[in-house]
Amino acid sequence: MKIDLTKEQYVALVKAVYLGNWVANAQRCGHDHDPNVPEYDAIAEHLYSLAPQFGLPANIEHDLEFGDTGHAGELVRLREEYNEEVFWSELCERLGERDFARRYTPQERQQMSEDERFERLDACVTVLEEETEEHGLERLEFMKTLEDFGL
């Protein structure tokens, strides 16, 4: 199969593949005990190898990460937006699940219908979302202090 792309479409595709590969592999070290997802690396490398056919530098991945073409800044901004959203979403979701499990005994949770369980869990998450939207981390506390950890 052959796909015809304009230079602009190719650049957009390269950025999308770069971001997808980053989501899949950024947290991995790439060694035997923590390998990258090989099919994502392989498709990214193949796509990057086509850059000269579009009049772009052969080291387009380096350009995406560190170049001064504006792509690096755009990708950094997109990664930061992604990280920010995932952080707050996961924080509220996980703390909401914890608080739900603390609020309701296993027996109470078992007696709830699926809809009721979802609504009550959602309420736990929603109050945390509202709290963090208004106050960020300012009012989030750990029960132990740094002194408790010997610092």
Contact 124, 99 (CB under 8 A): yes
How high does pLDDT run on average in the chain?
Answer: 92
Q: What is the pLDDT of residue 26?
A: 86
Q: What is the pLDDT of residue 107?
A: 97
Read off the pLDDT of residues 59-79 as tens digits, 9 standing for 90 and up. Answer: 888 888 777 667 788 888 999
Q: Is it the case that residue 139 has pLDDT exceeding 90?
A: yes
Specify the pTM: 0.77
| Structure tokens given for 111 | 């007696």
Q: What is the pLDDT of residue 73?
A: 84
Mean predicted confidence (pLDDT) in 3-11: 94
What span, in angstroms and rounded, lies between the C-alpha atoms of 47 and 16? 11
Query: What's CA 46's distance to the chain center, in Å?
Result: 24
Which residues share a beta bridge with 48? none
What span, in angstroms and rounded, lies between the C-alpha atoms of 129 and 150? 32
Read off the pLDDT of residues 103-124 as tens digits, 9 standing for 90 and up. Answer: 999 999 999 999 999 999 999 9
Read off the pLDDT of residues 17-31 as tens digits, 9 standing for 90 and up. Answer: 999 999 998 888 878
Q: What is the pLDDT of residue 40?
A: 93
Contact 55, 6 (CB under 8 A): no
Q: Please state, in angstroms and as integers, the Cα–Cα distance from residue 60 to each residue in 14, 31, 50, following that order.
A: 9, 24, 9
Which helix H or strand E contains 79, and what residues bound it? Answer: helix 71-103
Neighbours of 48 (CB within 10 A): 20
Q: What is the pLDDT of residue 117?
A: 97
Q: Kindly tell me the burial class for residue 104, based on how many C-beta atoms sit within 10 Å of its own C-beta (0-12, 13-18, 19 or more).
A: middle
Query: What's CA 97's distance to the chain center, in Å?
Result: 20
Q: What is the pLDDT of residue 18?
A: 93
